């Protein structure tokens, strides 16, 4: 009698993986979305940056972090001296989840079932890029990558492990910074994120 082989996520080429992501129907989010948004960046990137899901702009353009949150992230990364182009940037969930209000599409947080369904792709991106460090932006990415649903704010700035044992640094999502109404709180949270991005550079 043979024991079943453990499930191994074999590395494939990024274009093959991205083509498979574009065809994904693993959860209902593919229906209303314009397209899936796979990760972007070099296959040999040492850092993988993981957000939540594409926003309105990313859904239309088909690229991660090109809207307001992405633009803020790029500014903070610049300040910290972190080169986004050298990193692989992706999301825990590959389709935009939204409700339509008139002409506007309002972002909805993906639920645990949608995040779990999309882990299939996140696992393959991890296996293919094989980064030295993963940077989790916000709670959805943190929970998807670690399987540990404890709150984000107490874990921010800490180094943890992904489910497959890779070092993972925890920071806030740029959309959270954009939504903070109090300017002093926003300034402090922004300083913290910049410090986390600097820490990411030192960990590499």
114 binds ligand URA (CB under 6 A): no
HEC profile for the chain?
A: CCCCCCCCCCCCCHHHHHHHHHCCCCCHHHCCCCCCCCCECCCCCCEEEEECCCCHHHHHHCCCCCCHHHHHHHHHHHHHCCCHHHCEEEECCCCCCEEEECCEEEECCCCHHHHHHHHHHHHHHHHHHCCCEEEEECHHHHHHHHCCCCCCCCCCCCEEECCCCCEEEEECCHHHHHHCCCHHHHHHHHHHHHHHHHHHHHHC
Distance between CA atoms of residues 34 and 39, nearest Å: 16
Number of residues that bind ligand URA (CB under 6 A): 13
Pattern 51-80, ligand URA, x by CB under 6 A = xxxxx--x-----xx-x-xx----------
Verify binding: residue 41, ligand URA, rule CB under 6 A.
Answer: no
- Residues in region 168-197 near ligand URA by CB under 6 A: 175
Q: Toward ligand URA, which CB reaches closer, 36 or 133?
A: 36
Q: How far is the CB of 146 from ligand URA (least distance, A)?
A: 17
53 or 146: CB nearest ligand URA: 53
Measured in degrees and rounded to the nearest 5, phi and psi for residue 90 equal -145, -175
Nearer to ligand URA, 11 or 134 (CB): 134
In angstroms, give the least distance from the CB of 144 to ligand URA. Answer: 11
- 110 contacts ligand URA (rule: CB under 6 A): no
Least separation, in Å, of the C-beta of 92 and ligand URA? Answer: 8
- C-beta of 135: minimal distance to ligand URA in Å? 12
Stretch touching ligand URA by CB under 6 A, among 45-53, 77-85, 159-167, 178-186: 45-53
- CA 87 – CA 193 distance, rounded (Å): 17
Q: What residue ranges bind ligand URA (CB under 6 A)?
A: 51-55, 58, 64-65, 67, 69-70, 91, 175
């Amino acid at each position: 009698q043979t024991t079943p082989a453990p499930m191994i996520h074999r590395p494939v080429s990024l274009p093959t993986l991205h083509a498979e992501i574009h065809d994904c129907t693993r959860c209902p989010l593919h229906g209303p979305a314009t397209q899936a948004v796979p990760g972007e960046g070099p296959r040999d990137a040492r850092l993988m940056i993981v957000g939540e899901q594409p926003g309105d702009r990313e859904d239309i353009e088909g690229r991660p972090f090109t809207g307001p949150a992405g633009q803020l992230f790029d500014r903070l990364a610049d300040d910290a001296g972190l080169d986004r182009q050298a990193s692989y940037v992706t999301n825990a969930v590959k389709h935009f989840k939204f409700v339509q209000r008139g002409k506007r599409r309002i972002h909805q947080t993906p639920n645990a079932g949608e995040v779990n369904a999309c882990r299939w792709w996140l696992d393959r991106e991890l296996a293919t890029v094989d980064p030295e460090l993963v940077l989790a932006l916000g709670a959805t990415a943190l929970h998807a990558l670690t399987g540990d649903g404890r709150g984000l704010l107490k874990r921010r700035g800490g180094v943890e492990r992904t489910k497959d044992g890779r070092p993972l640094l925890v920071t806030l999502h740029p959309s959270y910074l954009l939504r903070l109404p109090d300017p002093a709180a926003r300034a402090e949270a922004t300083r913290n994120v910049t410090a986390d991005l600097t820490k990411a550079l030192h960990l590499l």
